[in-house]
Amino acid sequence: MLKFLNFSIKFLIIFILTCLLFVFSTLWYFSIGLPDYKKLSNYQPPISSRVYSNDGKLIAEYALEKRLFIPYESIPDKVINSFLSAEDKNFFNHPGVDAKGILRAFIKNLKNISGNKRLEGASTITQQVAKNFLLTNEVSFKRKIKEAILAFRIERAYSKERILELYLNQIYLGQGTYGIAAASLEYFDKSVKDLTYVETALLAALPKAPSKYDPYRYPDVAKFRRNLVIKNLEDNGYINKKQLKIFKQTKITLKRRKIEIINEANSYTEEVRRSIKEKYGFKKLYSEGLSIRTPLNIDYQTNALESLRKGLELYDRRHGWRGAITNKLQDSNWQKKIEDFKIDPTLNWEIAEITNIDDNGFKFKTIKGLIENNISTQSLKWAIRNKQTIFDKFKVGDIIFVSNTNNKWSLKQYPKVNGGIVAIDVYTGDVKALVGGFNFKSSEFNRVTQAKRQPGSAFKPIVYAAALENGYSPNSIVLDAPFVESQGVGLKDWKPENYGKKFYGPSTLRKGIEYSRNLMTVRIAKTLGLDKILKLSNELDIYEDIPELLSVSLGAAETSLISLTAAYGSFANGGKKIKPNLITRIQDRRGKTIFNIKNKECLGCDKFLSQSEKYPKIKDSNNRIFSEETAYQMTSILEGAVKRGTAKKLRDLKVPVAGKTGTTNNNYDAWFIGFTSNLVIGVYVGFDNPRTLGKYETGSKAALPIFKDFIQNSLYKEDFKEFKIPNGIFLTSLNYDTGIKSTIGNKNTIIEALKGKDINNINNNKLISIGSYDKLIKYRQFY
């Protein structure tokens, strides 16, 4: 008996030692190559970056996952209690692995195996953190052992609160959401602090199988799983039996989160996205929670889009109806053709089928079948021309676009022409609005920033600014007559012409711009020297490397709309260069500013005391490109283009506005760039695959109306201030045709802006000059 007892003790000791050796060997084996759990210390979950307008409204969001981070101290007890009851009720008591839970799951799984049911797991929250952060989703015994080893290590390294914080911010909860903060918004449109136990129990029910228990798709199954969590809450003492009964009977009430993103700003925000991705990289933009502030004015942006679309549609209508998208009765593939059209929802267009036609118009029904109405022949005049009838142009079964404005339906046609519009603050360079095309959904190509086109006559003010900066004056006389330039041996002579192929003889420099005279412009460029013009265009960032050809003076070299528009801003701001900026500030997830636009400097702010009589001064840091006097003279001349010249369609606005049209050879491109005292707006119209816009489709006809519509709808009377006149400018009455001194009251007399040195050129014994600085008007007399 004693022998047997000794043998049993030895056997037990050997068995225990063998088991311990096996356990330690297993742990050692599976510990090799385990991920470093210490990286959890610096873990920062991927968070979406957001883009805001100048008044703080959300205009875009960029993310790989829907996630908002919430620190442990901000997580309500209801959320913690619900998740512990659903996933790991012994969380605050176990060392990472729950032995009781494993035993309980083992016994249950024996029953499940015999009943052919799904096996249950016994992973603690700590084990789930190990799996989600450090391991894969592989289902294997090997992974479970690694998971347990990591769980022990994590528990020794981190507090329970930190582990729970990681878990509740990382867990996937369906509908593309990660973490409780994002899920709370997605399912209830609430902050987590406002959730009830019924709602937190539903969220806690989701981690086991987010798709299976999706309350939007399977509300009954979700309710069953939620009630199990509620029962666990009562078992664990978090709620009482009365609450249990009430909560279990409560219906699931969902409210999907609504993010009101300004879709009209898609062109703008895409340009912002490209810029940040290029500067900071994909990862920083899509996962590091940047807060991006832009100078976008939402009203300007919406009006810019509407004005551009209106102008492009008017152009398209002038060139007639091109026909239906297809015909339902004749085309078996009609549905696919409809699907190919990517219509921007901001257009508010419907696809419709013509169901009946008579002399009074046609009836239609939308493809969705929700609307039936009619469009009268009277409103189809643009589509029915040249003695044609409605039956010549439309057929029953035609698939068309229609739109309802003020309860009146109209026929729509998708324009083949396209364009862009941009509005920039002339002092800061802030881009207030930017629209890169008619329909962002069908074409993300940005015709403001990416398209390079010939500006034509819109470049001429740069030539004339260079002339004014180098001794010319607005009343300088320039010959408007035939011009011939040799292009080299064997090459045909270059013979530029005016629009209309006329010559006007000796004319003032002012007339050359106001009436957009090509021959005068070329002569100025030839006499002045092309190098001075190209230098100025380089300094204004219009062009960089371009050939020294006289045709450049007529806008033959390509540039972008945003570059030329910014250059015009220098006329309005007194000769200083502005750099267009679409981003004013970027902050990281913790609110630290990592980018801030700096175009102003505060002089004396560091020394200012409230009792001091000296106030700080704000100085802009933009470089001066040409003198204030030259800038004002160009502004005055471009005001003249509005009063008398190619931009006179703006004259009826009766506000201080200046601008210049631009039309390229054969009317391939139409431009208009105009400005007020604080805003410069550029418009471009043309085909993506260059071709003529049509015989009479000039900048004045195709582009200027878009500019006019925009400022009429965006700016108020008080937004139009008189252009500031520098001290060095003197206003005098001159003859418009000859440039010599004239008397006020003569119908051919204008008020001309001259620099002080030009006064001696006026052969008259009396000159009344009005100069203005801010709102102070000084009268000076010269005898």
Matching residue, tokens 């022949």: 377
Residue in the block written with tokens 């959401």? 177
For residue 643, give the DSSP letter: H
Helices (H) and strands (E) in the chain, counts: 22, 26
CB of 180 closer than 8 Å to CB of 75: yes
Beta-bridge mates of residue 768 = 781
| First-last CA distance in the chain | 142
Query: What is the distance between the alpha carbons of residues 737 and 721, in angstroms, rounded to a whole number?
Result: 29
457 annotated active-site: yes
Query: 198-215 burial string, b = 16+ CB within 10 Å, else e?
Result: bbbbbbbbbbeebeebbb
Q: Which residues contact 564 (CB under 8 A, 6 or more apart)?
A: 455, 458, 459, 542, 671, 673, 682
What phi and psi values does residue 752 have, to the nearest 5 degrees? Answer: -105, 145
Alpha carbons 689 and 447: distance in angstroms, whole number: 12
Nearest to 223 by CA among 235, 206, 240, 241: 206
Distance, in Å, from the CA atom of 174 to the CA atom of 186, rounded to the nearest integer, reads 9
Tell me the C-alpha distance between 74 and 169, whole Å: 12
352 forms beta bridges with 366, 400
Q: Two tokens at 552?
A: 């450049």
Residue 430 per-residue DSSP state: B
Which residues are paired to 732 by β-bridges? 752
CA–CA distance, 277 with 91 (Å, rounded to integer): 42
Residue 508: CB partners within 8 Å, gap ≥ 6? 474, 475, 476, 477, 478, 736, 737, 738, 739
Query: Cβ neighbours of residue 75 under 8 Å, at least 6 residues apart?
Result: 164, 165, 168, 180, 192
Rounded to whole angstroms, the Cα distance separating 554 from 517 reads 10
Dmax (CA) for the chain in angstroms is 144
Query: Tokens standing for 776?
Result: 């102070």
Contacts of 658 (CB under 8 A, 6+ apart): 571, 572, 635, 636, 638, 639, 641, 642, 674, 675, 723
Distance CA 586, CA 340 (A): 38
> Which residues, 6 or more positions from 559, have their beta carbon under 8 angstroms from its beta carbon?
452, 453, 455, 459, 542, 543
Residue 337 DSSP SS3: helix
| Angle at CA of residue 596, ends 593 and 602, nearest 5° | 115
Consecutive H or E run containing 432: strand 431-435
* Bridge-based pairing state of the strands 418-425 and 669-675: unpaired
Taking alpha carbons only, the member of 28, 31, 19 closest to residue 146 is 31
Tell me the one-letter amino acid at 318: R
Other C-beta atoms lying within 10 Å of the C-beta of residue 397: 16
| Annotated catalytic residue within 48, 87, 350, 553 | 87
The pair of structure tokens assigned to 15 is 């068995």
Catalytic annotation, pick one of 82, 457, 507, 627: 457
- For 129-190, the DSSP string reads HHHHHHS----SHHHHHHHHHHHHHHHHHS-HHHHHHHHHHH-B-STTEESHHHHHHHHHSS
**Residue 372 designated active-site:** no
What phi, psi does 401 have (nearest 5°)? -100, 140
Q: Write out the catalytic residue numbers.
A: 87, 457
